[in-house]
Chain A
């Protein structure tokens, strides 16, 4: 149980276009989802936290107008990178909080989405 999926796993887009990444909790309801960014050979950096039905809370330095996050249901959150540029190329990882009874504090991570902007 407690599986999180991301789609797509890999995407290439042209500079100036927008790309949407989906994060789904497959077998549990996620009241909170998190979006991270991971640069090659580096650690994960939290971008934003989203609660179902509420506006996302962005970390300092993250442009909310560039990285649009929507958490429309208890099983789906989306990250849209608007007007993407090569510097937005990165590995984007989501996690979902919530899970089997007694383990509600644990975050479950998706496999990540590799974004390449050409």
Chain B
């Protein structure tokens, strides 16, 4: 069975600083990988996804993630954080047909200091 680990429960970063959120997965086949952001009162929003091809994936809101098969990782990065990036971030691995069945990591809450 697949699993996802997000080692950092909370991260505090200053506005304008860079951000990196870690994600490690366990899956027996080529994974479908996703990063979602959850803001209060809003549904999860897809930031980016990896299915195949280029291992550096660009997403919305200036986020990018790099798939490293050798490390079973899919870390999310943003060069310069804005106050509006404060939210909960979830990494997920998709199994089944086209990554249909999602298993989520525990989430990382990002706090942005002014």
Contact = CB atoms under 8 A, between A and B. Distances in A.
B31 interface: no
Contacts of B32: 105
Interface in A4-45: 4, 32, 34, 42-45
Contacts of A108: 43, 46
A107 B51 CA distance: 14
A32 B100 contact: yes
B49 A111 contact: no
B35 interface: no
Given A46-B103, A93-B44, A95-B44, 12 more contacts: A43-B106, A43-B107, A44-B104, A45-B104, A46-B102, A49-B101, A93-B43, A105-B99, A106-B46, A106-B49, A108-B46, A109-B44
Interface residues of B, number: 21
Given A105-B98, A106-B49, A43 B43 contact: no
A112 B44 CA distance: 9
A118 to B, nearest CB: 23
Nearest to A107: B102
